Amino acid sequence: VIPAAFDYAAPSSIPETISLLQEHGDEAKILAGGHSLLPLMKLRLAAPGILIDLGRIRDLAYIRDENDHVAIGPMTTHYMLESSDFLRQRLPLLSTAASTVGDMQVRNRGTIGGSLAHADPASDLPTIVTALRGEIVATGPGGERTIAARDFFQDIWTSALEPDEVVTEIRIPYGPAPTSYAYEKFRQRASDWAIVGVAVSLDRQNGTIDRASVVLTNVGTTPVTATAVEEALAGQSANAETIQRAADLASEGLDPSPELKASPDYKRHLARVLTRRALTTALQLS
Amino acid sequence: MNKRAISVTVNGQQHQNEVEPRLLLIHYLRETLGLTGSHIGCDTTSCGACTVLLDGKAVKSCTVLAVQADEHDVTTIEGLAGADGSLHPMQEAFWNEHGLQCGYCTPGMIMTSVALLDRIPDPTVDQIRTGLEGNLCRCTGYQNIIKSVQAAAGVMASTESGGQS
């Protein structure tokens, strides 16, 4: 299937990109790796009048250590995330999760900026960046602003980006101590989207969980923070009982929409089971 | 809509064409350039039959626009064999190990496998299976495909280590 006809612009800078966005308004879509947008256009679920391709702007693909956070360029591919030694050391949740996106070919093209801006609640990276308390830098005509991931995702395929803004960086904090982490996702077949996914990132001191981050994929209109689970873990000692009690709360308040391959009840069940597995893996209690 | 001039190096040869922005890379290769070795299977980024190398990396050319390949390097299955017609070790291995039956998925399987060995020259069976998870085959049951990739890895390693070239 062939996408509906569109115009194509290939700006060479971010300011030029923003002028194009201002000029074309709602008709314009940003093209990053194209692995979310082009499939939608081929199915004619999206028919933008013009694509603005970031592919010719230099230096938008990078992973840079800023000492207390890592700065990631919007055109950084999933493959770059999965193969970065620095991320494997400092933010292994991000590199591990990136290595489970789609398949090798998809990870060679798909980008972190594109995945976040696309704001699909079934995608992995929105969940991961939310769990890691990341921030998204959006640049528009008035300059830069920084949006916490927890505020960035607003609805299905809807982010806090204004029509004339573009994602120009992703910032993810990291501390001196390694965190305990896991990403569990349940798929029907290899390289499918998650039916449900759970990202866990825990700060520990000795045997106690200081702070927990637990975020779910594909159980709502955005990545869903499992607040009840986080609260049940904070300040508790890391053992099987704590995990079981906390994981049982993972479906609290969840109202997932039914899908062909999963009813809401099934998704709530998966949320509890996968949260228990993710916590068990993260705390190496298995 | 305005056509756009693109310049793409395919299998070492530079091509200049005026294309519609919506033209997919797979259609550019098959219809504009007549290189029909890369196949269209699912057309939804799932099956991998259309896999080609873009700047050496395996990509699904049904989900890349031809304009995105402008000023880049593409290798298709037609570009693997030597100028004298001698097969690439991966092609040879698929032949020897019966890594194909109907052959529809084979160009994509081979291109992905070549890219996989470029990253992991001596992969485990698990790494081969994971590497090929974006390529679907409906006849072989995959076993002989895995064997083919292992065989090619062996041949390519012995060639690299100073054997015949």
| Residues A103, B134: Cα–Cα separation, whole Å | 5
Which residue on chain B is closest to A54 by alpha carbon?
B68
How close B164 gets to chain A, by Cα (Å)? Answer: 31
| Residues B155, A163: Cα–Cα separation, whole Å | 53
pLDDT along chain A (286 residues), means of 10: 95 98 96 97 96 97 97 98 97 97 98 98 98 98 97 97 98 91 93 94 92 97 98 96 97 93 96 98 84
Interface predicted TM-score (ipTM): 0.96
Chain B positions touching A42 (Cβ under 8 A) are 43-44
Greater model confidence, B1 or A123: A123
Q: Is the pLDDT of residue B67 over 70?
A: yes
Can you give the pLDDT at residue A13?
98
Which tokens hold the place of A26? 């709602």
φ, ψ of residue A199 to 5 degrees: the values are -105, 135
Indicate the length of chain A as a whole number: 286
Are A104 and B115 within 8 A, CB to CB? yes
What band does B1 get if pLDDT is binned at 50, 70 and 90? low
Question: Mean pLDDT over residues B101-116, rounded?
Answer: 98
| Residues A255, B58: Cα–Cα separation, whole Å | 39
Residue of B25, B38, B63, B114 to mutate, testing the A interface (most A Cβ within 10 Å of its Cβ): B63
Chain B positions touching A7 (Cβ under 8 A) are 1-2, 21
Are A191 and B116 within 8 A, CB to CB? no
Which residue on chain B is closest to A100 by alpha carbon?
B130
Burial label, A33 (beta-carbon count in 10 A; 0-12, 13-18, 19+): buried
Name the one residue in this structure whose structure tokens are 């700065």. A71
Q: Does A33 touch chain B (CB under 8 A)?
A: no
Q: Is the pLDDT of residue B127 over 70?
A: yes
| Residues A58, A199: Cα–Cα separation, whole Å | 32
Contacts 24+ apart (CB under 8 A), A139-146: A139/A14, A139/A18, A139/A165, A139/A166, A139/A168, A140/A18, A140/A21, A140/A164, A140/A165, A140/A166, A141/A18, A141/A22, A144/A168, A146/A171
What band does B165 get if pLDDT is binned at 50, 70 and 90? very low
Pairing relationship of beta strands B13-19 and A143-148 according to DSSP bridges: unpaired
Can you give the pLDDT at residue A286?
57
Q: Does A27 touch chain B (CB under 8 A)?
A: no
The torsion angle over the Cα atoms of residues B90, B95, B96 and B100, rounded to 10 degrees, is 100
How close A220 gets to chain B, by Cα (Å)? Answer: 25
Distances, alpha carbon A186 to alpha carbons B60, B70, B139, in Å: 24, 38, 26
Can you give the pLDDT at residue B162?
59
Name the one residue in this structure whose structure tokens are 């098959």. B30
Residues ≥6 apart with Cβ < 8 Å to A175: A68, A203
Are B57 and A108 within 8 A, CB to CB? yes
- Nearest alpha-carbon partner for A73 in A113, A35, A110, A33: A113
Are B63 and A10 within 8 A, CB to CB? no
Q: Does B3 touch chain A (CB under 8 A)?
A: no
Are B21 and A39 within 8 A, CB to CB? no
| Residues A59, A138: Cα–Cα separation, whole Å | 16
Can you give the pLDDT at residue A285?
75
Distance between the two ends of chain B, CA-based, in angstroms?
49
Which tokens hold the place of A258? 């039914």
Chain B positions touching A38 (Cβ under 8 A) are 63-65
Can you give the pLDDT at residue A20?
98
**pLDDT for B88-97, tens place per residue?**
999 999 999 9
Chain B positions touching A191 (Cβ under 8 A) are 46, 133-134
